[in-house]
Structure 1
Amino acid sequence: MMLQEIIDKEIKTAMLARNNVRLRGLRAIKAAILLARTEKGVSEDLTKEVEVKVLQRLAKQRRESADIFKTQNREDLYAIEIEELEVIEEFLPKQMAREEVAAIIKNAIASTGASSIKDMGKVMGIANKELAGKTDGKTISEIVKELLS
């Protein structure tokens, strides 16, 4: 079943349950999917990879907004962002532990022969392909920097 169909069913369920928090998060996902479907060069149906990228983008936006609101002591807005983030994360693939990510990145470093921070681009390219949807780019970047330093 396509993500859009799942989201539509979840929206109906949330509406019937009068769960406004969940409904807000689901509507954000639906809007992002519709936007992705209308982008230039996209076929009618989105692939799983594109759906995951859309969800990751939404999650990243919510995390960044939550961090900003937290630093500005806006607990009301922070809570909204975190609630939406929790709904979005339900539809993302299970995220890998930092140790598992580090092991995959070590293999990427070994396969590229990277030895310094100058080779970070090569390692990031391989790591991003292998870890797509399993962790966020920020974590990958941090681990690559640690291992190449």
Structure 2
Amino acid sequence: MSLKQKIEGEIKSAMIAKDKARLAALRSIKSLILLEETKSGAKADLTEEDELKLLTKAAKQRKDSADIYEQQARFDLYEVEMAELKILQEFLPKALTDEELTAAVQEIITQTGASSPKDIGKVMGVASKQLAGKADGKAISEKVKVILNS
């Protein structure tokens, strides 16, 4: 079942439950999918990888917006963004813990044969693809730098 079909099913459930906040978040996800599908030069259907990238980007945007609203003491808007982020995370793969991320990065470093901080680019290329959706790019980068510098 594609992400679009899952979202449509969840939208129906939210409508029946009269859950307005969930419905708004799900509709925004569906809107992102439809925009991506109808973009010029786009394939007919999105691949699972494309869907994952789309959701990851949307989740990052929600998190960044929530952080800004929290800094500006706009807690009404902060709550909306956090609620939407929580719903988005239901459709993303489970995030890696710090220990799991360290182990995954260590394995990638071993695979690529990286040995010094000069090899960060080589490791990041592989790590970004393998850990997409499971860890934030910033966290991956920091972990790679720490391991290669030690």
TM-score, length-normalised on structure 1? Answer: 0.93
- Counterpart for residue 63 of structure 1: 63
- Counterpart for residue 98 of structure 2: 98
- Counterpart for residue 48 of structure 1: 48
Give the Cα–Cα distance (whole angstroms) in 1 for the partners of residues 31 and 89 of structure 2. 16
Give the Cα–Cα distance (whole angstroms) in 2 for the partners of residues 67 and 124 of structure 1. 26
**1:59-105 CA distance string (max 9 Å, x none):** 00000001111111111111000000000000111111121111111
The Cα RMSD (Å) is: 1.3
The alignment-based identity, stated in percent, is 53
Unaligned runs of 5+ in 1: none
Report the residue type matching 2:5 in the other structure: E
SS at match of 1:40: coil
Does residue 87 (structure 1) correspond to residue 87 (structure 2)? The answer is: yes
- Counterpart for residue 76 of structure 2: 76
Give the Cα–Cα distance (whole angstroms) in 2 for the partners of residues 36 and 101 of structure 1. 30
Give the Cα–Cα distance (whole angstroms) in 2 for the partners of residues 33 and 47 of structure 1. 11
Kindly state the Cα deviation for residue 133 of structure 1 after the two structures are TM-superposed. Answer: 2.1
Give the Cα–Cα distance (whole angstroms) in 1 for the partners of residues 68 and 78 of structure 2. 8
Moved more, 52-61 or 40-49: 40-49
Kindly state the Cα deviation for residue 129 of structure 1 after the two structures are TM-superposed. Answer: 1.7
Give the Cα–Cα distance (whole angstroms) in 1 for the partners of residues 138 and 2 of structure 2. 28
Unaligned runs of 5+ in 2: none
> Runs of 4+ in structure 1 displaced over 3 angstroms?
none
Does residue 115 (structure 1) correspond to residue 115 (structure 2)? The answer is: yes
Kindly state the Cα deviation for residue 24 of structure 1 after the two structures are TM-superposed. Answer: 1.3
SS at match of 1:73: coil
Kindly state the Cα deviation for residue 108 of structure 1 after the two structures are TM-superposed. Answer: 1.7
- Counterpart for residue 3 of structure 1: 3
Moved more, 74-83 or 7-16: 7-16
Give the Cα–Cα distance (whole angstroms) in 2 for the partners of residues 56 and 95 of structure 1. 11
TM-score, length-normalised on structure 2? Answer: 0.93
SS at match of 1:80: helix
